[in-house]
Every structure is written in structure tokens, then in C-alpha cells.
Amino acid sequence: MIDVEVLRNMLGVSEADDGILGKVADEARDLILAYTNRKEDEWIPIFDGIQSLVARKVFNQLGAEGLRSKAEGAVSAAFDSLEGDVLPALNMFRAVRAL
């Protein structure tokens, strides 16, 4: 699973954000495990990259939850959803549970 220090370096933020980055990384891990119907001990190394992508997306959208885009003056930003690139990457790893 991804390390907070790696996320900090990728995002270019300070150590003061480590608490938030840890929480975002945990939420990304939980989302991946839930979507793929896996337990924590069934983590696949390829999930590390997807966890990093999800965590970075979530961190960058903090404070703009629920928005598709926003504009302030001459600056505008559009947000991608997880359905576009993350969930299709996870589809092939979904585990089926039989009763």
C-alpha cells in the first residue's frame, strides 16, 4: 500500500498535510477493497498505483466535493470522476464471492 511520504512528494505538499494524506490514502484503499470485493490480506501490488491515483484525486478535490467544475475569476477547473479511469482499471480485479 502507498506510503504517505510518497504521496507528499507527488503532490508537493508539506509534512503538515501528512494527517490528511494518511486519511485520504486509507479511504482510497478501502474504496479499492470494497469495489473489488477483497479483504486487506488479498491486496494485489498493482493496486498501489491505483490507490495513489485515487488518493491524489481526492486530495486535490478537498473542499470542492460534489462539484464537476468551478471558476474563480479567470481561473477555472474541471474535476474528473472516478468512473472515467479508476473503476474500469479495477473491473478486471473484482472478486466474485459464492455462497
Positive or negative torsion for Cα 23, 25, 96, 41: negative
Task: Return the minimum-mean-pLDDT range out of 4-18, 21-35, 74-88.
Answer: 74-88
Q: What pLDDT digit, counting tens, does each position of 56-73 carry?
A: 888 877 766 666 666 777
Single out the residue of 39, 41, 54, 60 nearest to residue 90, CA to CA: 54
Kindly report the pTM of this predicted structure.
Answer: 0.77
Task: Return the minimum-mean-pLDDT range out of 11-15, 43-47, 68-72, 87-91.
Answer: 68-72
Secondary structure in 3-state letters for 41-62: HHCCCCHHHHHHHHHHHHHHCC
Whether pLDDT at 80 is above 90: no
- Looking at residue 23, its pLDDT comes to 93
